[in-house]
Structure 1
């Protein structure tokens, strides 16, 4: 039998325990909170039980696994156990515990137990590195998110753009998924480097051109759910943001395909004036990000529309 190993990581948070626990309970929002989390599908089972399908980075690799969780809001604990693990992990589970502190803050304790494939020392070391890196990043951002929870309405922005396309969903999906061809298809994309480490999984780095002529490099992980949805998370975000996730969704309607680009961003209030000037506000930063991201999305949607409608023989509106 493989040896069971243990790890513990803690952080002190200047926020009430219920606020912290709420962030941990809302796992579908983890990509906006936890740097390693790319995408989470949360499936409640009832009586405090649920399953999670998680895509996340670990030691600069993209991993996907399925976990079962049990939530106990009264005790402020969440226990979890991976049902389907990814090598070199053979088994993993643990507990989140949120403890109240006398000053009104919280202590968060994250315990893990795990076994490595074949019990090999190099596999154990890989898992320990991943746990140390991910747990430290998660707890740090959990602390920041909880301590800024009263500003969530100001800092977390969601927006979307939609176009109607009279064409094939397959063609639209192909246009958006084949990012390796964006440099030739999209004028605002100057360079693309694409890797596909697994089926329906991409690591995308690209340089995009802003209207003022400046060039920006982004790095993202994308997960495809053909033929109707692609989700992604930027691993490298501009200074104005602490997180950026997005979704391309293709929906059949009576009038054609409704194709939507949706963004969720978390603004970094500490960098607003450094980026936009001494008099800039968080609201202005939100408007700036909305224009920049929305402009690129609408440009991509416009080219996808022309591509799909030309292939279908429809007349572009």
Structure 2
């Protein structure tokens, strides 16, 4: 029965890092959007230490797809099994296993195996899934290898921070401004162009040109996943500006009895090889961290300020 045929893919990579380091990276799924290029967002729905349930968004053959998975973590054997309980079409089922094998004190083998079936067993759908699985897995394993081999310096390369603003207005109006990103070029001077699509409600893909204080223009592309009932918008840049290897973030609107707190979170992996090119031959990693904190903080604060004004002005007109 072709519809029931199980297809298997197996990919491996040798990592010049301890097995425990590699296992630590694959076990920390909520950080995958920052570390793994295909992964856009991960919501950890349940976790008891050994078993977890995840809602995941990722790109596959250029399209954003989403599913829910259950994972079982076995740190002693350095093994993680997973099963997609709500796989995205054309999949009928998807299961798999991550394993990490120690090859010495500072060397390990990372293996990712997938087993999948496709609804109807159509050849073109099988080819589509196999192509997406092969492409994403190779990208993931290469990213994990590079991160594991820089594990001792990863804390210096990762920059996380947040900016906040108090607004005495309704959360709905603040969220409305953050959600209607197509209006941003009209009110944000640093945004010179923005094109976006929303083929599925709450899933936005955009390309944006921004101008830095020194007059340079950078083009970035992003995917945003919107949660209106929770007052959250999460995003991942799929094409980043210089100095940035990866960039994820979140806009949050937290209401209370006196108004709302607006929060802009940023998580960045620095691209170390860009530092002297962008900031000059005497620049170092610490200076690059300060530079990005200032630049990204300035732009997100500008958005928060305008969101607050939008809410206050709308209330005044009522």
Q: Identify the TM-score tier after normalising by the shorter chain.
A: over 0.9
- Partners in 2 of 1:133 and 1:201 — Cα distance? 23
Partner of 1:206: 208
SS for the counterpart of 1:15 is coil
> Which one of 255, 268, 274 corresponds to residue 252 of structure 1?
255
1:236 and 2:239 correspond = yes
> Which one of 40, 45, 54 corresponds to residue 43 of structure 1?
45
Deviations along 1:206-263, one digit per CA (max 9) or x if unpaired, are: 1112122221111100011114111000000123121100000111134321101110
CA drift of 1:47 comes to: 5.8
> Which one of 182, 201, 205 corresponds to residue 184 of structure 2?
182
TM-score (norm 2): 0.96
Deviations along 1:45-91, one digit per CA (max 9) or x if unpaired, are: 43611111101111110001000110110110000010001112221
Partner of 2:166: 164
> Which one of 222, 225, 236 corresponds to residue 223 of structure 1?
225
The more displaced of 1-10 and 78-87 is 1-10
Give unmatched runs, 5+ long, in structure 1: none
Deviations along 1:267-291, one digit per CA (max 9) or x if unpaired, are: 1222212222221101111111111
1:308 and 2:304 correspond = no
- Partners in 2 of 1:261 and 1:202 — Cα distance? 18
1:72 and 2:74 correspond = yes
SS for the counterpart of 1:313 is helix
Decide whether the 8 Å contact of 2:18 with 2:104 is kept in 1.
no
- Partners in 2 of 1:171 and 1:273 — Cα distance? 42
Deviations along 1:110-144, one digit per CA (max 9) or x if unpaired, are: 00011112111111111111111101110111011
- Partners in 1 of 2:49 and 2:233 — Cα distance? 31
CA drift of 1:102 comes to: 2.8
Give unmatched runs, 5+ long, in structure 2: none
Partner of 1:297: 300
SS for the counterpart of 2:4 is coil
Partner of 2:134: 132
CA drift of 1:43 comes to: 3.3
The more displaced of 113-122 and 71-80 is 113-122
Partner of 1:90: 92
CA drift of 1:36 comes to: 0.5
SS for the counterpart of 2:104 is coil
- Partners in 2 of 1:101 and 1:241 — Cα distance? 32
SS for the counterpart of 1:197 is strand
TM-score (norm 1): 0.96
Partner of 1:23: 25
Decide whether the 8 Å contact of 2:222 with 2:237 is kept in 1.
yes
Partner of 2:273: 270
SS for the counterpart of 2:136 is helix
CA drift of 1:296 comes to: 0.7
> Which one of 63, 66, 71 corresponds to residue 65 of structure 2?
63
- Partners in 2 of 1:277 and 1:140 — Cα distance? 29
Structure 1 residue ranges, 4+ long, deviating more than 4 angstroms after superposition: none
Partner of 2:195: 193
- Partners in 2 of 1:279 and 1:213 — Cα distance? 22
